[in-house]
């Protein structure tokens, strides 16, 4: 949401190439020679969580039947997504979210502070909060309280990100489809500097139970956001939210995939995929404070899960480019189109 994205603009062509390569790798994983769908799909540790056990295969291997059961389980996840935005970016970056991945959320909200009729459907003008980085903590607090007040009983999972975050919602739903929303979960990209927190830009997700516990802390006379400023040594909204959840004994759950690779990524694809690229930018500090040491690495060819969920600092144009690469580009001979989840009808706030 800052001017940082302009400094990454020169990477757009490289980002396009990286996106194509990622799609090609996915195609290779799920297809074999002559375009046949290989049963190696069942060896994926991620899909084992949602696919029934493999039975003895006859002449007609019921692959699609098994995938349909997986779709049904993933599609049963009721997900609310709220996007941190502002009056200066809602009609550019926010609109790009609405026109791309946002349509896959069951509920999509844009949290800002200005009630402007030109803004997008789903916009919530939060009272008493400011714009700019100095207003993010207050805006986040009021946004979470708004979500709790109006939607806590309607959805199972609650996802927050910025308007320059690209999210693969289907992969997000896959990750949480094997978890119980009645238990306190808090998942994202972990960082540690004095205390541990999850990156707000990479996006993080709360279960229904965690949302209720967060509301209890925020409504308590001992304001967790105010006390958190001293505890975390700053006013960063993602650090303060982590502080409130920690006070409620909601601990960070690892979101690494079965191969120890990250699903939530706080930077653009190329800064993660290209070894050494991150160290040449203002984001090199992430290399020092990334806290999940079970991960193999956060840069280079092994940085990112094949079922990655999010990338950050994505411009409006890059949102649309990535969306095409992820959802529309197919390779002849593959059956990727058969693996797509059904379209989800999104409801927007009036």
Assign 45 a pLDDT band (cuts: 50, 70, 90). low
Average pLDDT over residues 196-207: 94
CB 197 within 8 A of CB 186: no
Strand-pair category, 157-162 with 166-167 = unpaired
Give 144 or 328, the one with higher predicted confidence.
144
Q: Does residue 133 sit in helix, strand or coil?
A: helix
Whole-number Å distance between alpha carbons of 78 and 75? 8
In sequence order, what are the beta bridge partners of 110? 83, 123
Whole-number Å distance between alpha carbons of 114 and 94? 14
Q: Taking the alpha carbons of 139, 141, 143, 145 in that order, is the dihedral positive or negative?
A: negative
- What is the per-residue pLDDT for 10? 45
Quote the percentage of the chain above a pLDDT of 90.
44
- What is the per-residue pLDDT for 15? 52
Element (H, E) at 27: helix 12-30
* DSSP symbol at 5: H
In sequence order, what are the beta bridge partners of 197? 191
- What is the per-residue pLDDT for 78? 96
- What is the per-residue pLDDT for 117? 59
What is the per-residue pLDDT across 207-228, written as a single tens digit (0 to 9) for each?
999 999 999 998 887 777 776 6
Assign 48 a pLDDT band (cuts: 50, 70, 90). low
What is the per-residue pLDDT across 269-283, written as a single tens digit (0 to 9) for each?
999 999 999 989 998
What is the per-residue pLDDT across 289-317, written as a single tens digit (0 to 9) for each?
887 666 668 889 889 999 999 999 999 99
Whole-number Å distance between alpha carbons of 102 and 346? 8
Closest CA to 239 of 108, 124, 150, 133: 133
- What is the per-residue pLDDT for 2? 42
pTM as predicted? 0.79
pLDDT at 245 over 80: yes
What is the per-residue pLDDT across 125-140, written as a single tens digit (0 to 9) for each?
888 887 777 678 888 9
- What is the per-residue pLDDT for 325? 93
Average pLDDT over residues 149-165: 97
Of the ranges 62-66, 98-102, 194-198, which one carries the lowest mean pLDDT score? 62-66
- DSSP readout, 230-292? HHHTS--HHHHHHHHHHHTT-PPPP---TTS-BSB-SS-HHHHHSTTTGGGSTTTHHHHHB--
User: What Å distances lie between residue 220 and 100, 226, 244, 245, 248, CA to CA?
Assistant: 38, 11, 11, 13, 11
Please state, rounded to an integer, the average pLDDT across all residues of the chain: 79
Whole-number Å distance between alpha carbons of 250 and 46? 24
CB 187 within 8 A of CB 175: yes
Whole-number Å distance between alpha carbons of 264 and 199? 9
pLDDT at 141 over 60: yes
CB 325 within 8 A of CB 19: yes
Q: Residue 270: is it exposed, middle or buried by C-beta count within 10 angstroms (0-12/13-18/19+)?
A: buried
Whole-number Å distance between alpha carbons of 78 and 22? 28
Whole-number Å distance between alpha carbons of 320 and 329? 12
- What is the per-residue pLDDT for 218? 87
Give 110 or 10, the one with higher predicted confidence.
110
CB 341 within 8 A of CB 71: yes
Give 58 or 35, the one with higher predicted confidence.
58
pLDDT at 34 over 50: no
Average pLDDT over residues 183-211: 92
- What is the per-residue pLDDT for 84? 94
Q: How many helices (H) and strands (E) does the chain have?
A: 13, 11
Closest CA to 134 of 118, 153, 120, 113: 113
Closest CA to 206 of 259, 140, 272, 261: 140
Assign 6 a pLDDT band (cuts: 50, 70, 90). very low
Tokens of 186: 């808090």
pLDDT at 154 over 90: yes
Q: At what angle do helices 224-232 and 136-151 cross, to 10 degrees?
A: 140
């Amino acid at each position: 949401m800052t001017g940082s994205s302009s400094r990454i603009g020169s990477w757009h062509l490289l980002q396009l190439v990286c996106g194509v390569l990622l799609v090609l790798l996915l195609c290779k994983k799920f297809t074999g020679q002559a375009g046949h769908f290989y049963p190696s799909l069942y060896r994926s540790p991620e899909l084992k969580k949602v696919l029934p056990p493999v039975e003895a295969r006859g002449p007609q291997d019921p692959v699609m039947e098994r995938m349909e059961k997986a779709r049904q389980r993933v599609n049963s996840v009721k997900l609310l997504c709220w996007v941190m935005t502002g009056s200066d970016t809602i009609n550019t970056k926010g609109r790009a979210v609405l026109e791309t991945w946002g349509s896959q959320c069951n509920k999509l909200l844009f949290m800002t502070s200005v009630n402007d009729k030109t803004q997008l459907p789903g916009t919530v003008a939060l009272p008493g909060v400011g714009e700019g980085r100095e207003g993010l903590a207050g805006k986040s607090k009021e946004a979470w309280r708004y979500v709790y007040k109006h939607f806590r009983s309607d959805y199972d999972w609650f996802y927050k990100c910025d308007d320059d975050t690209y999210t693969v919602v289907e992969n997000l739903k896959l990750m949480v489809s094997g978890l119980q929303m009645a238990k306190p979960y808090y998942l994202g990209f972990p960082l540690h500097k004095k205390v541990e927190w999850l990156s707000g830009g990479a996006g993080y997700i709360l279960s229904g139970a965690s949302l209720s516990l967060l509301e209890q802390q925020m409504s308590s006379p001992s304001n967790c956001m105010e006390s958190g400023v001293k505890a975390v040594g700053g006013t960063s909204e993602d650090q303060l939210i982590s502080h409130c959840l920690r006070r409620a004994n909601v601990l960070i759950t690892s979101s690494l995939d079965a191969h120890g690779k990250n699903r939530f990524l706080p930077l653009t694809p190329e800064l993660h995929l290209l070894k050494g690229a991150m160290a040449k930018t203002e984001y090199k500090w992430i290399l020092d404070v990334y806290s999940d040491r079970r991960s193999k690495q956060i840069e280079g060819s092994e940085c990112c899960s094949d079922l990655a969920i999010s990338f950050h600092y994505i411009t409006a144009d890059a949102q649309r480019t990535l969306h095409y690469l992820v959802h529309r580009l197919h390779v002849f001979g593959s059956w990727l189109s058969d693996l797509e989840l059904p379209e989800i009808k999104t409801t927007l706030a009036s």
